[in-house]
Amino acid sequence: MLKKDLGWDAYFEAIWADGKMEECVPARVVSQQRGLWRVAGEFEACWAEPSGKFRKESEEGGDWPAVGDWVAVEMRPEKQSALIQRVLPRRSRFVRKVAGKQIAEQVIVANIDVALIVAALDGDFNVRRVERYLAQCWESGARPVVVLNKADACADASELAAQIEGIAKGVPVLLVSAKTGEGLEALEAHFKKGQTIVLLGSSGVGKSSLVNRLLQEERQSTFAVRESDSRGRHTTTSRDLFLLPNGTMLIDTPGLRELQLWNAGEGLAQTFADVDELASKCRFTDCQHVNEPGCAVQEALASGKLDANRLESWRKLQREQEFLERKVDSEIGAAHNKRIKILMRQVRQNYRDRDKGKN
């Protein structure tokens, strides 16, 4: 398959020309499962793993290859596999804080043009969750589109769509049904050949059903594992890149049970531009927007211009982001102190050795 049909363009060409990777060829990561990556390029799609050198030089986490990444691989034809030597700098990336207590970044997908934030209009509809996705999405560098699925199962679909439009200024909001096909043409109007689109959202919102509809067939990857491939089977827990009939690449991600923000300060500011704008009009620059005189936020609440839930959501996400920043700072601080300690111990040892030498 040609590189350009996988999204390769002048940006990556320039990086490649700069990189001097003679032994390698460019490849795109089209699937990721535990510890295994599937890559496609101008060769038969195959499995790949990071080389020893790459493992040594990169930290597991943000530096690790993700679906959508362009990587430099060394082919190992005798093993029908490839070694990943390098991840090319990403043009965009959707990240989150890894689930659980650990303070680290996880890259969900890389090099995406459009992010479809999928929510379902049945029981589990939640405006605040869409806000959270929007914040991380604005941070990613991809253009967000909100897709409200299961329109067929909801009596007041357009009312809920209006709620989302209220909190997602400038973002297209589409009503669709993967079941009936309603709204899919409007959705496909956002797909351009050569672009990469990702589906994000909780599990159960209908992402797989949408993929099937858009592929016009049962979910079957262009880069699917053949019988002769002994390593690993395709599972629904993996992230996969599909090629749509019109030449758009679509990445499906398994439902994220939680999306904790990661480094989303600017994304938050963009998502809550209306609240930020109000806050900038408060009399005191350090206004907490509780009961200070001249608080523009409280005024907007009183007049109904600002929804109390939205303000609460803003506060919550701000707190989450600030907590994370403090954690990261203190961990960096701790690592720094540890390095200094080791260094000082060495210095003292050197002095002792020198003094011994004198005697």
Residue 173 carries which side chain, given as an amino acid letter?
V
**What contacts 24+ positions apart, CB below 8 Å, involve 213-219?**
213/178, 213/181, 213/184, 214/184, 214/188, 214/244, 214/250, 215/242, 215/244, 215/245, 216/245
| 214 vs 306 by CB, closer to Zn ion | 306
Q: Which residue is nearest to ligand GDP (CB)?
A: 206
| Dist. CA 298–CA 311, nearest whole Å | 10
Instruction: List the structure tokens of 200.
Output: 């994000």
| Residue 287 interaction partner, one of ligand GDP, Zn ion, none, beta carbon < 5-8 Å per kind | Zn ion
| Dist. CA 211–CA 244, nearest whole Å | 9
Which residues, 263 to 302, sit near Zn ion by CB under 5 A? 282, 287, 289, 295, 297
| Residue 271 interaction partner, one of Zn ion, ligand GDP, none, beta carbon < 5-8 Å per kind | none
Shortest Å, Cβ 170 to Zn ion: 25
| Dist. CA 46–CA 29, nearest whole Å | 10
For residue 67, give the DSSP letter. B
| Residue 150 interaction partner, one of Zn ion, ligand GDP, none, beta carbon < 5-8 Å per kind | ligand GDP
| 93 vs 207 by CB, closer to ligand GDP | 207
Q: What are the start-end ranges of the E strands in the chain?
A: 25-33, 36-41, 43-50, 70-76, 81-87, 93-97, 105-110, 114-120, 143-149, 173-175, 196-200, 239-243, 249-252
Give kind and range of the element (H or E) at residue 129: helix 127-140
Residue 306 in the binding site for Zn ion (CB under 5 A): no
Q: Residues 6 or more apart from 300 whose CB is under 8 A from it?
A: 278, 306
| 110 vs 116 by CB, closer to ligand GDP | 116
| 49 vs 240 by CB, closer to ligand GDP | 240
| Residue 295 interaction partner, one of ligand GDP, Zn ion, none, beta carbon < 5-8 Å per kind | Zn ion
| 81 vs 149 by CB, closer to ligand GDP | 149
Shortest Å, Cβ 130 to ligand GDP: 15
| Residue 158 interaction partner, one of ligand GDP, Zn ion, none, beta carbon < 5-8 Å per kind | none
| Residue 250 interaction partner, one of ligand GDP, Zn ion, none, beta carbon < 5-8 Å per kind | none
What residues make contact with ligand GDP under the rule CB under 6 A?
149-150, 152-153, 177-179, 203-209, 255
| Residue 297 interaction partner, one of ligand GDP, Zn ion, none, beta carbon < 5-8 Å per kind | Zn ion
Shortest Å, Cβ 316 to ligand GDP: 25
Shortest Å, Cβ 68 to ligand GDP: 18
Using DSSP, how many helices (H) and how many strands (E) does the chain show?
10, 13
| 145 vs 282 by CB, closer to Zn ion | 282
| 29 vs 295 by CB, closer to Zn ion | 295
CA distances 302 to 284, 298, 308, Å, are 19, 6, 9
Give Dmax (Cα) for the chain. 91
Residue 38 carries which side chain, given as an amino acid letter?
R
Shortest Å, Cβ 191 to ligand GDP: 18
Binding residues for Zn ion, rule: CB under 5 A, are: 282, 287, 289, 295, 297
